Protein backbone atom coordinates (compact mmCIF):
# COMPACT_ATOMS: atom_id res chain seq x y z
CA UNK A 1 0.00 0.00 0.00
CA UNK A 2 2.84 2.36 0.85
CA UNK A 3 4.61 1.84 -2.49
CA UNK A 4 1.31 2.28 -4.33
CA UNK A 5 0.85 5.68 -2.66
CA UNK A 6 4.38 6.70 -3.67
CA UNK A 7 3.68 5.65 -7.26
CA UNK A 8 0.49 7.72 -7.29
CA UNK A 9 2.36 10.76 -5.95
CA UNK A 10 5.09 10.33 -8.57
CA UNK A 11 2.46 10.01 -11.31
CA UNK A 12 0.72 13.19 -10.16
CA UNK A 13 4.04 15.03 -10.04
CA UNK A 14 4.90 13.84 -13.54
CA UNK A 15 1.52 15.00 -14.86
CA UNK A 16 1.91 18.44 -13.26
CA UNK A 17 5.43 18.82 -14.67
CA UNK A 18 4.29 17.68 -18.12
CA UNK A 19 1.39 20.15 -18.15
CA UNK A 20 3.69 22.93 -17.00
CA UNK A 21 6.20 22.22 -19.75
CA UNK A 22 3.41 21.94 -22.32
CA UNK A 23 1.98 25.31 -21.23
CA UNK A 24 5.44 26.88 -21.41
CA UNK A 25 6.06 25.50 -24.92
CA UNK A 26 2.67 26.74 -26.15
CA UNK A 27 3.40 30.16 -24.67
CA UNK A 28 6.81 30.31 -26.36
CA UNK A 29 5.37 29.14 -29.66
CA UNK A 30 2.64 31.77 -29.62
CA UNK A 31 5.07 34.55 -28.72
CA UNK A 32 7.76 33.52 -31.20
CA UNK A 33 5.51 34.14 -34.18
CA UNK A 34 5.43 37.89 -34.80
CA UNK A 35 3.22 37.60 -37.88
CA UNK A 36 -0.52 37.39 -37.77
CA UNK A 37 -1.87 33.85 -37.59
CA UNK A 38 -5.25 34.82 -38.96
CA UNK A 39 -6.93 32.33 -41.26
CA UNK A 40 -8.23 35.29 -43.27
CA UNK A 41 -4.87 36.92 -43.84
CA UNK A 42 -4.59 38.35 -47.36
CA UNK A 43 -8.21 37.43 -48.11
CA UNK A 44 -10.47 40.17 -49.43
CA UNK A 45 -13.80 40.43 -47.68
CA UNK A 46 -16.69 41.35 -49.97
CA UNK A 47 -19.13 43.69 -48.30
Output phi, psi for 34, to 5 deg: -85, -15
Q: Would you state the pLDDT for residue 39?
A: 61
* pTM given for the model: 0.57
Residue 43, classed as helix, strand or coil, is coil
First to last CA, the chain: 68
SS3 assignment for 25-43:
HHHHHHHHCCCCCCCCCCC
pLDDT digits (tens, 9 = 90+) for 1-47: 667 788 999 999 999 999 999 999 888 887 666 566 566 666 666 76
Amino acid sequence: MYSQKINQIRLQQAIVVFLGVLTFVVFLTSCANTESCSAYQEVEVVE
